[in-house]
Amino acid sequence: MIVMKFGGTSIEDIPSVKRVVEIIDSRLEQCPVVVNSAMGKTTRKLLDVARLSADGMEEKAFLRLDEIHEYHFDMARGLIPDFENSDSRTTLERYFEGLHKLLEGLSILLELTPRGQDRILSYGELVATTIIASTLQSRGINARWLDARDFIITDERFTRARPVDDLTCRSIQEKVRPLVVSGHVPVIQGFIGSTRSGVTTTLGFEGSDFTAALAGAALDVSNIEIWKDVNGIMTADPRIFAGARTVRNISFEEASELTLSGAKVLHPGTIEPARRKDIPVNIYNSRQPDAGGTTITAHANKGTNIVKSIAYNMPVCIMNIVSNSHADPSGFLRSVFDILDREGIVPYVVTTAGTGIAMAVSASEDMEHAIEELTRLGTVNIAGEKATISLVGENIRTTRDFAPVVFQNLEDVNIYMVAQGASPISLTFVVDESDIPSVIARLHEAFFKDPDPDTLE
Ligand code: ASP
Ligand code: MG
């Protein structure tokens, strides 16, 4: 048994869905469970529509909803034979009526709650899986549409819900396994789940990877395949650095360090379920199914390069807080972290000294309230337009004088904060956002001069 997850860009138009159908068809012998994201940029578009409605711009919201409707119906017409008279059409119409009613509700309430947001976003995956399941059936594949909300059971943290592990695992075993055993190909939505009392939740953006890993771990599959539109994990972000190479193999620890350091290739929650069950995770490109991709395993080949990949987070700001009570440094730190915890802010880098603390945090979130709270503890200063850079690789663990080598290559760059030692396999530092392309290019040149053919493509 295997899990195959297809992201939004792998199913964004008719040709890409056809490619995906062929890929699934080529793996029927391995008994696949299929997990789908919403198609193309649907999740983003649904979020825009919801915000417009809650802002009182109902007309505009409905026009946009019509576009989303058209997009999916065009696809369905091109993929499902006799779509106009099919059950899929009835199902899709029902979903869009549901969405329409929800938007009406928002435009009366003029408020978008996290709970309402999850409900609306869930339609992206529901619609996508309906189309994919019928397309597969029309090609003679014994596909069976399932509602992930029957088995991905989560807490009530809407927009970033966490699965209740044992309950989710048991439910997947009960609801999904028998279908595979009886020769079906289950098609399930990534990203969405439900609370114990049946209220729709989502696992956070890019959460479909996480669903795939949860399903894979519960079903003890031999492989979890994540299909994207890139050739796997790269040595650097190819949009920033054209010379980036594909990393063929990487360890769970390296991969999870990378996702937490800003590499967008996987949802950070994906690695843990796979690692717990020691299931290899493969990242493949649905546009080049025969390219090797990246394999993530417990003991990946370390290779001869010190670094496996360079990741970055942007936009970041440095928040500096100097305590106004110098009497109790540990109480100060505790209060700072309490506030961060309540506000859901996870700093990338933290340094403390006597009476103060500096943190590099994501600048994309709304931090006004957190800053207000922190100001009670001391003087808060914010420096924006920064970025974190992380170098990740198992070989860093055993390389002496690694940091000096890094910084020798960056002599004329302003480095604001450095974190070394918190993880033995990575080094993270903070630079100006505008320096990112040149810093990545120089580090790539320094650490991948002689690329190891066994670990890099
Ligand atoms: N559709 C959701 C998103 O765009 C979940 C996913 O794609 O993984 O974030
Ligand atoms: Mg997506």
In which element (H, E) is residue 438 found? helix 436-447
* Nearest C-alpha neighbor of 100 from the set 49, 134, 156, 150: 49
Angle, helices 87-109 vs 42-54, to 10°: value is: 40
183 and 87 share a domain?
yes
In a domain, 265, yes or no: no
Alpha helices (H) along 280-396? 329-343, 368-375
215 and 315 share a domain?
no
Cβ atoms of 204 and 159 within 8 Å: the answer is yes
Atom of ligand 1 nearest to the CA of 125: 1
218 and 319 share a domain?
no
Query: Would the CB of 40 count as within 6 Å of ligand 1?
Result: no
> What was the pLDDT predicted at 267?
86
Of 182, 197, 229, the position where a domain reaches its end is 229
> What was the pLDDT predicted at 367?
85
Task: Give the burial string for 146-157 (b: 16+ CB within 10 Å, else e).
Answer: bebbbbbbbeeb
Query: Would the CB of 62 count as within 6 Å of ligand 1?
Result: no
173 and 28 share a domain?
yes
In a domain, 197, yes or no: yes
Give the range of the structural domain holding residue 342, as residue numbers without chain letter. 309-447
CA distance 133 to 144: 6
> What was the pLDDT predicted at 209?
96
In a domain, 76, yes or no: yes
219 and 327 share a domain?
no
Atom of ligand 1 nearest to the CA of 7: 7
In a domain, 117, yes or no: yes
CA distance 110 to 104: 10
- Cis, bond preceding 315 (omega within 30 deg of 0): yes
Of 229, 264, 285, the position where a domain reaches its end is 229
The strand pairing partners of 61, in sequence order, are none
What CATH number has the domain bearing residue 407? 3.30.2130.10
185 and 326 share a domain?
no
- Count of domains observed in the chain: 2
Tens digits of residue pLDDT in 86-102: 999 999 999 999 999 99
In a domain, 383, yes or no: yes
Instruction: Kindly give the pairing relationship between strand 192-195 and strand 294-297.
Output: unpaired
Q: Find all residues with CB under 8 Å of 417, minimum gap 6, and list them.
A: 318, 349, 351, 358, 360, 429, 430
Query: Would the CB of 206 count as within 6 Å of ligand 1?
Result: yes
- Length of the chain equals 457
Of 184, 211, 229, the position where a domain reaches its end is 229
* Nearest C-alpha neighbor of 305 from the set 393, 411, 377: 393
Alpha helices (H) along 351-395? 368-375
3-state SS, 235-296, equals CCCCCCCCCCCEECEEEHHHHHHHHHCCCCCCCCCCHHHHHHHCCCEEEEECCCCCCCCEEE
> What was the pLDDT predicted at 401?
87
In a domain, 313, yes or no: yes
Tens digits of residue pLDDT in 235-247: 999 999 999 999 9
**Ligand 1 pocket mutation pick from 4, 35, 191 by most atoms within 8 angstroms of CB:** 191
84 token code pair: 């106009």
197 and 327 share a domain?
no
What residues in the chain have per-residue pLDDT under 50?
Answer: none
Q: Find all residues with CB under 8 Å of 224, minimum gap 6, and list them.
A: 2, 3, 5, 212, 213, 216, 274, 279, 280, 281, 282
336 and 430 share a domain?
yes
Query: Would the CB of 207 count as within 6 Å of ligand 1?
Result: yes
Q: What is the identity of the amino acid at 249?
A: N
Q: Whose CA is nearest to atom 5 of ligand 1?
A: 206
57 and 206 share a domain?
yes
Atom of ligand 1 nearest to the CA of 210: 8
Other CB atoms within 10 A of residue 202 CB: 27
The rounded Å distance from CA 272 to ligand 2 centre is 20
Alpha carbon 441 to its chain's center: 25
213 and 358 share a domain?
no
Task: Name the percent of the chain in helix, strand, coil, to the closest 5.
Answer: 45, 25, 35
Cβ atoms of 136 and 146 within 8 Å: the answer is no
Query: Would the CB of 269 count as within 6 Å of ligand 1?
Result: no
What CATH number has the domain bearing residue 94? 3.40.1160.10
> What was the pLDDT predicted at 265?
82
Sheet containing 143-145: give its strands across: 143-145, 185-189, 32-36, 2-6, 223-228, 281-285, 294-297, 249-251
CA distance 53 to 57: 5
96 and 8 share a domain?
yes
In a domain, 264, yes or no: no
CA distance 448 to 301: 16
In a domain, 99, yes or no: yes
Query: Would the CB of 447 count as within 6 Å of ligand 1?
Result: no
CA distances in angstroms from 237 to 245, 289, 444, listed in the order given: 9, 20, 11
How much is the pTM?
A: 0.90
186 and 334 share a domain?
no
Q: Which residues surround ligand 2, an ion (CB under 5 A)?
A: 8, 37
